[in-house]
Amino acid sequence: MEKLVIEGGKLLHGEVKISGSKNAALPILAATLLTDETCVIRNIPRLRDTMTMVKLLRSLGKTAELTGDCITISQKGHLNHVAEYKLVSTMRGSFCVLGPLLAKLNKAKVSLPGGCVIGVRPVDLHLKGIKALGAKIEIEGGYVIATTRKLKGAHMYLGGAFGSSVLATANVMMAAVLADGETIIESAACEPEIEDLTNFLMAMGAKIEGKGSPRLVINGVRKLKGVQYKIIHDRIEAGTYILAAAATRSSIIIKNGCFEQLMALTDVLNQAGVKVIEENGYVKVKPGRRFSPVNVSTYPYPGFPTDLQAQYMALMALTPGVSVITDKVYPDRFIHTAELNRMGANIRREGINAIVQGVKKLYGAPVMASDLRASAALVIAGLAAKGRTEVHRMYHLERGYEDLDQKLLGLGAKVWREKE
């Protein structure tokens, strides 16, 4: 096990290239279960989560060959319908094999998922949608067991207590593309990653209307074909580097910066005194002389992303005045506040709100990563802090940020890995 060591206080400069989207790659990889033909997918990020999904696909009977950022997935024998606990329990995104396995084999046995500890994240919307398509669902021994004679199209509402669900939308959509008849999903997730999955399925021959909207209309087909496809870039990674530049008062250039997908973030930052612009296909970050606190509430896309809440908090911790950060997607996603306070931040939690009193400086300290995005917030704090910060449990970062230490080195940061 390794930790990331950061010598803070260095200005960042230069250009950073954003990798392929983790949250798009995982359901698209799962969707290859829907065809017997070969799929070639480019712009795959080399991450712990994507490699876990590759292992899961192999355990289900697929062959997968990786060359750089390209993966070729094919099938020689029969698919296995059981997604084992040892793989699914480590990553919530792997639960999205349920829909494609059920659609292809009329049966699926998938372990209940694991992943980051960011509060309760039930799978009730997944099961609600799958049941609506005519599947029988049982939960036994920590597994979801789904069976059907043949999935049939249905009209369903997939909204939950905290809005739409990205993974549930993906799971149900992948099940519906091979179902008999028409499926209508109301309150579908509108995230760019769902739109990317829709494009991938349509390239395979699926019939889907309403791409990018909260109402998806899917007409089932008998068979899907193999395709070549390039996934989108990672908007959350781009947002993390934008916030790292802001927190360190640095000007950087971001290639593949997903500017149109980050309007909620860039609007808030412009109000806070950080100029973020798109110019000639690049995103440029230019912090002003003075920052102002800006309150934020997270919402499903196109609202402010919950996956950038922790990183934004690191910036507000260094911004004079008081800001209120509310997470309406995952209300318990505030474990990082205690670790930021260890570095000198002044943050207190009140229900689904974090009250942030900005301080003049943060100070390096040993801190413990609790989940993927909390880890990124601690890295940003460490880059801006005075002295040495040690981020323990670096494997959380490796789940969602490709070559983070090397990219930071390329921007002039002083970072390195050490054994725990």
Say what the pLDDT of residue 54 is.
Answer: 97
- pLDDT per residue over 360-377, tens digit each? 999 999 999 888 999 999
Average pLDDT (71-99) is 92
Is the predicted pLDDT of residue 119 greater than 90, yes or no? no
Burial of 406 (0-12, 13-18, 19+ CB in 10 A): exposed
Is the predicted pLDDT of residue 1 greater than 90, yes or no? no
Say what the pLDDT of residue 116 is.
Answer: 43
- pLDDT per residue over 179-219, tens digit each? 999 999 999 999 999 999 999 999 999 999 999 999 999 99
Q: How far is CA 304 from CA 15, 22, 25, in A?
A: 25, 18, 21
Say what the pLDDT of residue 114 is.
Answer: 58
Say what the pLDDT of residue 374 is.
Answer: 92
Whether 49 and 93 have beta carbons less than 8 Å apart is answered as yes
Distance CA(302)–CA(299), nearest Å, equals 8
Average pLDDT (268-281) is 96
Say what the pLDDT of residue 163 is.
Answer: 86
Average pLDDT (116-121) is 43
Six-digit token string for 138 = 């049982």
Average pLDDT (225-248) is 98
Is the predicted pLDDT of residue 264 greater than 80, yes or no? yes
Looking at the chain, the whole-number percentage of residues with pLDDT higher than 70 is 98
**What structural domains does the chain harbor?**
2-19+233-419 (3.65.10.10), 22-230 (3.65.10.10)
How would you list the strands of the sheet with 82-83, edge to edge?
82-83, 107-111, 143-147, 136-140
Question: How many Cβ atoms sit within 10 Å of the Cβ of residue 112?
Answer: 16
**Local confidence band at 91 (pLDDT 50, 70, 90 cut-offs):** confident
pTM of the model: 0.96
Is the predicted pLDDT of residue 310 greater than 50, yes or no? yes
Average pLDDT (226-253) is 98
Say what the pLDDT of residue 333 is.
Answer: 86
Average pLDDT (319-334) is 93
* Overall size of the chain counted in residues: 420
Whether 397 and 391 have beta carbons less than 8 Å apart is answered as yes
Q: How far is CA 54 from CA 89, 196, 265, in A?
A: 15, 19, 32
Say what the pLDDT of residue 89 is.
Answer: 85
Mean pLDDT over the full length of the chain:
95
Amino acid at 48: R
Is the predicted pLDDT of residue 308 greater than 50, yes or no? yes
Amino acid at 267: D
What crossing angle do the helices spanning 166-176 and 124-132 adopt, rounded to 10°? 20
**Closest to 178 (Cα-Cα) out of 132, 224, 136, 226:** 224
Say what the pLDDT of residue 354 is.
Answer: 97
Average pLDDT (282-309) is 96
Whether the CA torsion 252, 257, 259, 261 is positive or negative: it is: negative
DSSP character for 80? P
Burial of 287 (0-12, 13-18, 19+ CB in 10 A): buried
How would you list the strands of the sheet with 70-75, edge to edge?
62-67, 70-75, 39-42, 228-230
SS3 29: helix
List 39, 96, 116, 190, catalytic entry: 116
**Closest to 218 (Cα-Cα) out of 349, 320, 308, 129:** 129
Question: How many Cβ atoms sit within 10 Å of the Cβ of residue 229?
Answer: 18
Catalytic-residue membership of 116: yes
Say what the pLDDT of residue 155 is.
Answer: 98
Backbone torsions φ then ψ of 93, nearest 5 degrees: -60, -25
Question: How many Cβ atoms sit within 10 Å of the Cβ of residue 136?
Answer: 12
Question: How many Cβ atoms sit within 10 Å of the Cβ of residue 67?
Answer: 9
- pLDDT per residue over 153-188, tens digit each? 999 999 988 789 999 999 999 999 999 999 999 999
Backbone torsions φ then ψ of 219, nearest 5 degrees: -105, 115
Whether 419 and 1 have beta carbons less than 8 Å apart is answered as yes
**Closest to 401 (Cα-Cα) out of 21, 6, 10, 8:** 21
